[in-house]
Structure 1
Amino acid sequence: MADKYLLRVTAGPTYDISTHVEVPVNSPGPSSSSSAPETGSVRITSNLIEADLCVRINKYRGLPRGASSSSVYFETEPHKSNGDQYSIAVRFTLLEPNTELAAPGVKEGGGVKEGGLAGGKEAEDGAEDGEAKAGNEEAEEKRKGIPGPDLQWGNDFDHPIRSRLPPGFNTALNIVKWWIDPGLDGNPYADHPYLYGPALSSFNTIHVGPGEDDPARGGLWFEEGGDEEGMAWREKVGAPGEGKARMKWALKEGSKEGWTWEFGRVYGVDFFNPYVDFGELALRLPGFNLPVIKYWDGQGLRTPPKRSHQLRYVLRHRTTGQVYLVVLFTLHLAEDINEDGTLKPAALEALAQSSGGQGMLEGEKGLLPVRRGGDESEVDLEPDEEDFDEEQALGEARRKLSGMDVAGGVETREDDVD
């Protein structure tokens, strides 16, 4: 079934695919084709972010034509030992929003608006004046960047997927949350399903500084830590210098509050793991394997096959709903792709249908999903798992993961976090 599809990766600053550009997967890297792109990253810009994005996928079958099936990234440590199967690496700078998006009650320079922090009245005594000043300083600090708990990374969908979730899905999710990413939270059974985690504990590598763009290691490359200034900044907020230690630290109460993703500062992040096999279109967790193509995009296995399936990763603001970056993985039927790698009308129509039945509207809390029709019929909120042995799967996961250096996460349970 997998050989009937080609993968295409696009990215942009919004959900709207018209704002996206095609990502040259696995470039730079070993390739026998002279038509392979010369650069491995794409530039994404908006009034909220400036970002360079590099995507690498092992055993890749997709666009652009001539793309390498792999990258030297996967032959470089620690990814070779980890068995990592894909990487989403981003070098980004968050931009300070305009004053309308600033903290309520604060003017330029930290003054107080009417009805704001001081209620629009002069302080009656020194105590109230001090409280107002402290409030202004706190609000002003928030304006310098995004608080650690508020920058999220994860997946979401425009439509329900609950009726198409496979047997054992809850078990797989428990494995991920227990052993790989304890900070993950969401609701896969909602009308607009989502699974987000704080960026601070979700990214495998965070580098405070520009990092490197090294063709010998597959393009954008970030070591946990930072440049000289970035390391000093991390030490100031108490963030450990090792990736898994930082991820575990970020789950502790109060740690994320000490970290601010500052406007104007350059960060490099890398998200990778050995669990999603794009070559075979399968999810391979310890104790749990799933052929993804049967359930990708919540559509299930169809006859004839569905013309496209989508999975997207989103960098967003937890409290405002603003979106900074969207990376979209789309499976297209191979017959819907021209020889030059462009999409045939059938593929374009499938994309239009994917984004047309539901979409995103600009609201007072940023980009919010809205339903524009479609099937409203009732579905079971839980998949049928009668034939799935959850206890056996969890036992196998515990056996394989206990004492292991888990490549994709922090190897910690929620009850281990102080």
Structure 2
Amino acid sequence: MADRYILRVTAGPGYDEKDHVLVPVNETEPVKIASPLATIDLSVRVRDYNGLPRGSPSSSKYFETEPHAYNQDQYSICFSFTPHAPKGVQSGEQKDGIKGTDLQFGNDFDRPIRDKLPPGFSTAMNIVKWWIDPGLDGDAYADRPHLYGPALSSLNALHVGAPEIAEDKGGIFVEEGGGEDVRAELGMPVDGKGRMKWGLNDANKESWLWKYGETYGMDFYNPYIDFSTFSLRLPGFHLPILKYWDGQGLRYVLRNRLTGEVYLAVCFTIHLKEDVDEEGNIKEKAKEQGRKDDESRQKEAAALSSQAKNTAEDDLD
């Protein structure tokens, strides 16, 4: 079944896909994502990649480096992040940067997925929160499902300062480090796992500031999503994604919890191969059908939400 589909990765400074660019997966040259809020250089790597753009490298030297070779990591979202001070900052707001409590990284969706969640989803989420990211929080059953964690504890590697760009490591390469003085002052561990655990503490998050104008290297990676077979593999849990897919992409966002502003959105979307032309563009007919399907799903979701609200009100009566 998976061989009927092809993967496409796009990225932009927000949710509007009109502002997104096609990401050259596994290439060493990063993609620049610029907005008034931030400047970002982005590299996306996917093991055993056979997606768009056509002719993309099937892998990256990144996966031959450690710890990724040992972990058998399947993909990476790696980037440099330089936040900019917003215009018109009012008194009492953050003037020097984004607090550690407010910069979030995670997934969200435009419409409900509750009717598509597989049996055992709660078990899978418990595995993720216990084994992978205890800082994750959100609501997968909401009208706009979301699961976010503090970037301070969710990102696998953090480098204070501009990250290394090395062709023999696949392009942008982030290793834990940098900012030794501020790390020592705040008691932040020098290793990635230690820093992620440190970042779960509320007081530690309050003490950290993502400073405007300063560059940070960030890398998010794991061995749990296999994009070559479109499957999720957690310890003791396996899920064929296509069986429960509703047409939405898997979207990763870097956002501000306080303001709701988005700095980066990276979308992994699946398309039928027959809907993609020779140049790798989505055929207009498929786009139009997708828009109709989206409208239909949104109306259905709104109707279900209204029905649930009326039922709840009747129960109160």
Which bin holds the TM-score, normalised by the shorter protein? over 0.9
Structure 1 CA distance, aligned partners of 2:4 and 2:164?
Answer: 36
- 1:275 and 2:201 are equivalent in the alignment: no
Alpha-carbon distance in 2 for matches of 1:247, 1:375 = 36
- 2:8 paired with 1:59: no
Q: Return the alpha-carbon distance in structure 1 between the equivalents of residues 22 and 253 of structure 2.
A: 16
CA-CA distance at 1:352 after TM superposition: 3.8
Instruction: Please name the residue that 2:161 is paired with.
Output: 209
State how far apart, in whole Å, the 2-side matches of 1:50 and 1:353 are. 34
List gaps (5 residues or longer) in structure 1: 29-38, 107-138, 300-307, 359-371, 382-418
Amino acid at match of 1:22: L
For residues 295 and 270 of structure 1, what CA distance do their matches in structure 2 show?
A: 28
**Change in 2 beyond 3 A, CA 1:20/1:357:** farther
1:47 aligns with one of 36, 46, 50: 36
Q: Which has the higher contact order (CA 8 A, sep 6+)?
A: 2
Matches within 5 A, 1:63-212: 63-99=52-88, 102-103=89-90, 106=91, 139=92, 142-212=94-164
**C-alpha deviations, 1:320-339, integer Å up to 9, x for none?**
11111100111111011111
CA-CA distance at 1:90 after TM superposition: 1.0
**What residue identity is the alignment partner of 1:77?**
E
1:288 maps onto 2:288 in alignment? no
Change (3 A) 1:69 1:170: same
1:376 aligns with 2:315: no
Matched, 1:317 2:243: no
After TM superposition, the structure 1 = structure 2 runs for residues 238-253 of structure 1, keeping only pairs within 5 Å, are: 238-253=187-202
8 Å contact kept, 2:101–2:202 = no
* Cα separation, partners in 2 of 1:255 and 1:353, compared to 1, 3 Å: farther
Q: Which has the larger radius of gyration?
A: 1
TM-score normalized by structure 1?
0.70
| In 2, Cα distance between equivalents of 1:87 and 1:343 | 24
How far apart are 1:357 and its partner, in Å?
A: 6.7
The answer to whether residue 207 in structure 2 is matched with residue 258 in structure 1 is yes
Matched-pair contact (CA < 8 Å) for 2:26–2:58: yes
Counterpart selection for 2:284 from 338, 342, 345:
345
Assess if the C-alpha contact under 8 Å between 1:92 and 1:267 holds in 2: yes
Measured against aligned partners, the alpha-carbon deviations of 1:293-338 in whole angstroms (never above 9, x if no partner) come to: 1123xx2xxxxxxxx5411001111121111110011111101111
Shift of 1:196: 0.3
Distance 2:122 2:237 in 1: 11
What CA deviation, in whole Å up to 9, does each residue of 1:219-242 have, x standing for no partner? Answer: 11011012xxx2223223321110
Who is 2:12 aligned against? 12
Q: Distance in 1 between matches of 2:209 and 2:121?
A: 34
Partner of 1:31: none
**2: CA distance, partners of 1:253 / 1:319:** 15
CA positional deviation for 1:56 = 0.1
Question: What's the TM-score once normalised by structure 2's chain length?
Answer: 0.92
Question: Per-residue deviation at 1:253?
Answer: 3.0
1:94-137, Cα deviation, whole Å (9 max, x unpaired): 000011xx24xx2xxxxxxxxxxxxxxxxxxxxxxxxxxxxxxx
Q: Secondary structure at the match of 2:249?
A: strand
Matching residue of 1:416:
none
**Equivalent-residue separation in structure 2 for 1:354 and 1:43 (angstroms):** 31
Q: Pick from 331, 341, 345: which aligns with 2:270?
A: 331
In structure 1, C-alpha distance between the alignment counterparts of 2:295 and 2:176, rounded to whole Å: 40
Please give the alpha-carbon distance, in whole angstroms, between the structure 2 residues aligned to 1:326 and 1:45. 12
- Could you tell me how far apart the structure 1 residues matched to 2:148 and 2:285 are? 32
Per-residue CA deviation, residues 33-73 of structure 1 (Å, 9 max, x unaligned), is xxxxxx2x100011101000100001112100100111111
Q: What is the CA–CA distance in structure 1 between the aligned matches of 2:209 and 2:186, rounded to whole Å? A: 9
In structure 1, what is the Cα distance between the partners aligned to 2:72 and 2:144? 32
- CA distance in 2 between counterparts of 1:86 and 1:340 reads 24
The letter of the residue matching 2:6 is: L
